[in-house]
Amino acid sequence: MFNFRKDISKIPGWLTQNEGTFLYKQAKKSSKKYAIVEIGSWKGKSTVCLGIGVKDGEGGKVYAIDPHKDTTEHKKWSGNSDEYDTYNIFLSNIKNAGIENSIIPIRKTSEKAAITFKRPVDFLFIDGSHHFSHVKLDYELWFPKLIQNGTVAFHDAWHSLGVMAITTLMLLISTKIKNPRLIDTLIVFQKVSKNSSIDRLVNFSFIFYRLFFGWIGSMRMHVLSGTSETSTLDKRSILWLKHIYRNLFIEK
């Protein structure tokens, strides 16, 4: 049984309870005939959500793709990429969660992993580098591997400009997606062979919905879900923002 606060919250990373629960439920209902692919694992916060999901479900596999070193994101948080290697921490968190048999780590970049990856995918979670060109490449490499009616989710799709830009383009011009959803900072699509005119109208309208309401999930992410390692705010600011958030959204 999945318990975000017990199983997940102590692992460093950026993930809200709503997002973690979505990943768990999506993995739990996934068929073991197909693969779940996660692009960007860092220390395993989202990976554990997915791993517990497949363990509680049909017992499929999660392919966790991350070089764990020398990427733009690692340099941002390490200050010295040569010494900052998250792989052993990732493995330790996977082991502590009891899901080693559910996770297949692929210690490569998304681009290199895509070359030899042949399994059909029914859930694709993109949370690697957030630069526009990198998000675009992840989408172009991995979306074709997603089965019809499969699901793709992009993390940080409101406050990261690269992710927002590529998902906005998808909503504007893609004929292959429908049923957009916003789960805090996740934007989720269903892949189809061809969407309808109504689907495209819904996709277009969703751009404005995300623009006006996406900040709520972003605030929830940065105020309630960061750890001391990942937070960009000092503790006094976090406590103040938590107080404001609870007054606005919880205690009424």
Percent of the chain predicted with pLDDT > 90? 72
Tens of pLDDT along 88-136? 999 999 999 999 999 999 999 999 999 999 999 999 999 999 999 999 9
Among candidate residues 92, 86, 39, the one with its CA nearest the CA of residue 62:
39
- H helical segments located in 42-196: 45-56, 72-78, 87-96, 110-116, 132-142, 161-173
Q: What is the pLDDT of residue 8?
A: 87
Does residue 248 belong to any structural domain of this protein?
A: no
Tens of pLDDT along 155-187? 999 889 999 999 999 999 999 999 999 999 999
Does residue 241 belong to any structural domain of this protein?
A: no
Does residue 229 belong to any structural domain of this protein?
A: no
| Tally of structural domains, the chain | 1
Q: Are 205 and 172 in contact (CB under 8 A)?
A: no
Q: What is the pLDDT of residue 69?
A: 85
CATH classification at residue 177:
3.40.50.150
Q: Positive or negative CA dihedral for 20, 26, 32, 35?
A: negative
Only one residue has tokens 């970049």, namely 109
- H helical segments located in the chain: 4-7, 17-28, 45-56, 72-78, 87-96, 110-116, 132-142, 161-173, 197-219, 235-245
Q: How many whole angstroms from its chain centre is CA 42?
A: 11
Does residue 202 belong to any structural domain of this protein?
A: yes
Q: What is the pTM of this model?
A: 0.87
Cα–Cα distance for residue pair 65/114, rounded to 1 Å: 10
Does residue 146 belong to any structural domain of this protein?
A: yes
Does residue 244 belong to any structural domain of this protein?
A: no
Does residue 191 belong to any structural domain of this protein?
A: yes
Does residue 112 belong to any structural domain of this protein?
A: yes
Supply the range of the domain harboring residue 98: 4-213
Tens of pLDDT along 40-72? 999 999 999 999 999 999 999 999 999 998 665
Backbone φ and ψ of 240, nearest 5°: -65, -45
